[in-house]
Structure 1
Amino acid sequence: MTIGVGFIGAGPVTQAIHLPAVAGLSDRLHVARVMDVDEGTAAAVAARAGAAHGTSVEELLADPAVEIVAVCSPHAFHAEQAEAACAAGKKVVLVEKPLATTMDEARRIAKAAQDTGVPVVVGAMHTYDPAWLAAERHWGDLPATARRVRSRIVLPPNARFETLATQLHAEPVFPVRGGDPADPAVRAASIRGAILGLAIHNLPLVRRFLPRVERVDVARPLTPFGYVLTFQGDGRTAELIGYLHLGWREEWSFEVWGDEGELRLDFTPSYVRAGSATAELRTAAGLLAFGLDPNNGYTGEWRHLAALAAGAEPPRYAVADLLDDLAYALDLAERAADRLLQGTAA
């Protein structure tokens, strides 16, 4: 028998990323129920997987066929729904990034997980990528000796990848931000949203090599969506560039330079099932290369969720680490926003 998965929220990430990943692991997982506030979307998405559907979170959590809960709803609902999934005694809870919108909310999730013994996993897919995990086993003291970190995420709009990955039932409608783009408050809100919406994908990686943010030197929002950030901590410097543009060129890279080593990873776009990242690790001992695994980080994440639900593996990341990742992202977002509010973007 395979393990049943219930999705809270049936938007593009569920349709184009998670459902194909679960389908590729049909020897151990199946979709049991799909919930969405839009009944038509819930019904259409569930029909693709032969699953039950509904518009009620409570109904999904009461379904004994649902053993893993994936919280893929808007960020503001993550804490309440993750807490409820833990209280319902499910075997594992996956919460999409970010874990919560505030540290108080995140601590509520952590307490629910501790009180119930239900493991909570955050959908930071790159921390489950086979190339990242292989490099981690070999990089030695690079986290202690790192001096510079760079993350570049340059992509076409998500919609272009979504249409390659699946036929969306309904296009999501996002609120359009108004206001004068020269207004510091508008710019601050823009960069805060870009950090928590795009940069957050790589921030757990950045934190491994620059654990503490002391100051933000450059914070600049980009049009139509993106950011340029540089910040420092403990004598180390990070440069983060994120940009969604109207062409097709893409780059999703992560680089680290240390006293005696270098690391570079090139990730595939999230919505394209094109396998793992590739990684090159240079140390005094020479060059090591990893990657070209047929599975990407999402598949690795779902493999781990299945193993957790079956009791075959312990959680890969402690809840305390997930809280620290969120605290790091929120701190960086607030420091960048404050810099723009002070009128000192660069």
Structure 2
Amino acid sequence: MQSTLGVGFLGAGPVTQAIHLPAMARLTDHFTVRHVNDVDAAVAQGVAGNAGTAYSTSLEALLDDPRVDVVAICSPHAYHAEQAIAACRAGKKAVLCEKPLAMSAAEAALIATVSAETGVPVLVGAMHTFDPGWRAAVASWGDLPATSHTIRSSVVLPPNARFEDLATEVISRAAFPAVDVSDVEVRASMVHAGVMGLAVHDLPLIRSLLPRYDDLRVLCADLLTPFGYRILMVAGGKVIELHAVMSQTWQPSWVLEAYADDQVLHTEFTPSYVHAGSAVSTLTTAGSARVFGPSRANGYEAEWLELAAVVRGEVAPPDLDGLVDDLQFTVAVADAAADAVRTLAKTEAAA
């Protein structure tokens, strides 16, 4: 039997604690947690203690640990590119980088270049792209990418903390400071962050349904309170609606839909931080409804299992150009949506 792959986590916040460590606990035939790193020594020590492994507060300490085969980047978005490149140059066997891969197309392209030069595969932890319920629908949707005309992503969630607390006892979660949403630049920044942090889950899926996006136009965008966004855009001849809101009371819902004249795709994903099996996808035509899922494994497990298969040479590494294109699309949507928020504010002020 092959030995397990040693995993080191860069960043020990809620994503590591409530998402990846529970996944690791279900995949002990493939992985062993070897190192936990965080700039906050108390958090790093506490999480490592719960996981029964080593901890550190410096990037170099984790990369120098010979027991770490795979680096999982779960740090704030701004550090993803730097850390992914460093992990590749350290000669690790693979990198799993939480979404987004980077904060600009240039950063993503540099990661792809270094990955190719070093031979270290990089996977992006966009769990919906790995979800068995989604992938089964993709394999059966026929000409939907060519024939669909409307795509809609709708997300309604309570604040992440509620799901984090259900998944595990998260160590040292600081509350977000209050912001002045009457400031247009604050609203634009929050919508931009919403795209990069939340819509990013579904944007690679949406891109796979588009023939092109160089003609992307955001028609309108605005911030939904207490946090969320409403974005209407067109790209590749299709109408795309993005809606997300966080609420203390509404029932969670995460749905992605694509409509053609003769077929509809309806996919219901489990909310982030919830380990409850795969998505359920339904492809409906005038004469049939085919249902895919739920599978026992969720997207988090599926992405880790694919990484293990890549390292062991059982499947090909992900297409680096595709990952860069996903990031470029996400940044283009985020930038255009933020600009649309500013335009709306100017229009309202002039009215």
TM-score by length of 2: 0.94
Structure-1 residue corresponding to 2:183: 183
Q: Distance in 2 between matches of 1:92 and 1:285?
A: 45
TM-aligned CA deviation for residue 124 of structure 1? 0.5
Which amino acid is the alignment partner of residue 208 of structure 2? Answer: R
Q: Which residue in the other structure is 2:164 paired with?
A: 162
Counterpart in the other structure of 1:135: 137
SS in 2 for 1:44: helix
CA displacement at 1:186 relative to structure 2 = 2.2
Q: Which moved more, 1:49-58 or 1:144-153?
A: 49-58
Aligned to 1:88: 90
- Aligned amino acid, residue 101 of structure 1: M
> C-alpha distance in 2, partners of 1:323/1:72?
19
Q: Which amino acid aligns with 2:194?
A: A
CA distance in 1: counterparts of 2:288 and 2:157, whole angstroms: 32
Map of 1:195 onto structure 2? 195
Alignment of 1:279-318 (within 5 A): 279-283=281-285, 286-315=288-317, 317-318=318-319
Q: 1:215-242: per-residue Cα shift (whole Å, max 9, x none)?
A: 1112011111000111012321011110
Report deviation, 1:311: 2.1
Q: Give distance in 2, aligned partners of 1:185 and 1:121.
A: 33
Matched AA of 1:151: S
Q: Is the 8 A contact 2:156 2:250 kept in 1?
A: no
Q: Distance between the aligned counterparts of 2:197 and 2:75, measured in 1?
A: 14
Letter in 1 for 2:65: D
For residues 13 and 178 of structure 2, what CA distance do their matches in structure 1 show?
21
Q: Supply the distance in 2 between the matched residues of 1:128 and 1:320 (Cα, whole angstroms).
A: 17
1:101-152 Cα shifts (integer Å, max 9, x gaps): 1122112211110110111011100000000110111001100111000101
Deviation at 1:183, TM superposition (A): 3.1
**Match of residue 222 from structure 1:** 224
Partner of 1:209: 209
The structural deviation recorded for 1:278 is 0.6
Give 3-state SS (helix, strand or coil) of 1:115's partner: helix
**What amino acid maps onto 1:199 in structure 2?**
A
* Cα contact 1:12–1:172 (8 A) shared by 2: no
In structure 2, what residue type is equivalent to 1:43? Q
Q: What is the SS of the residue equivalent to 1:186?
A: helix
1:84 Cα shift? 0.5
- What SS is found at the alignment partner of 1:100? coil
Verify the 8 A CA contact 1:4 1:30 in the aligned structure 2: yes
> Residues 184 and 343 of structure 1 are in contact (CA less than 8 Å); yes or no, is this contact kept in structure 2?
no
Q: How does 1:17-166 map to 2 (within 5 A)?
A: 17-166=19-168
- 1:334 aligns to 2:335 (yes or no): yes
Counting matched residue pairs gives: 343
Give the conservation status (yes or no) of the 8 Å contact 1:229–1:241.
yes
CA drift of 1:248 comes to 4.7
Q: Distance in 2 between matches of 1:253 and 1:88?
A: 39
CA contact (8 A) 2:220 2:344 kept: no
In structure 2, do the counterparts of structure 1 residues 209 and 177 end up closer, same or farther at CA, with 3 Å as the change threshold? farther
Q: Deviations over 1:180-238 (max 9, x none)?
A: x2333222112111111111111111111234152111201111100011101232101
Amino acid at match of 1:337: A
- How far 1:45 sits from its partner (Å)? 1.0
Q: Name the SS of the counterpart of 2:344 in structure 1.
A: coil
Contact 2:48 2:55 in 1 (8 A): yes
Which segments of 5 or more consecutive residues in structure 2 lack a partner in the other structure? Answer: none
Aligned to 1:321: 322
Give 1:178 deviation, angstroms.
3.5
Instruction: After TM superposition, give the deviation of residue 159 of structure 1 in Å.
Output: 0.3
Per-residue CA distance 1:244-290 (angstroms, 9 max, x = gap): 11115110000000132110000111211110011101246622111
Partners of 2:152 and 2:64 in 1: CA distance: 45
Q: State the distance in 1 between where 2:47 and 2:86 align.
A: 23
For residue 247 of structure 1, give the secondary structure of its aligned residue in structure 2. Answer: coil
CA contact (8 A) 1:11 1:172 kept: no
Equivalent-residue separation in structure 2 for 1:254 and 1:247 (angstroms): 21
Which stretches in structure 1 are left out of the alignment for 5+ residues? none
* Paired residue secondary structure (2:208): helix
The TM-score normalised by the length of structure 1 is 0.95
Q: Distance in 1 between matches of 2:131 and 2:42?
A: 34
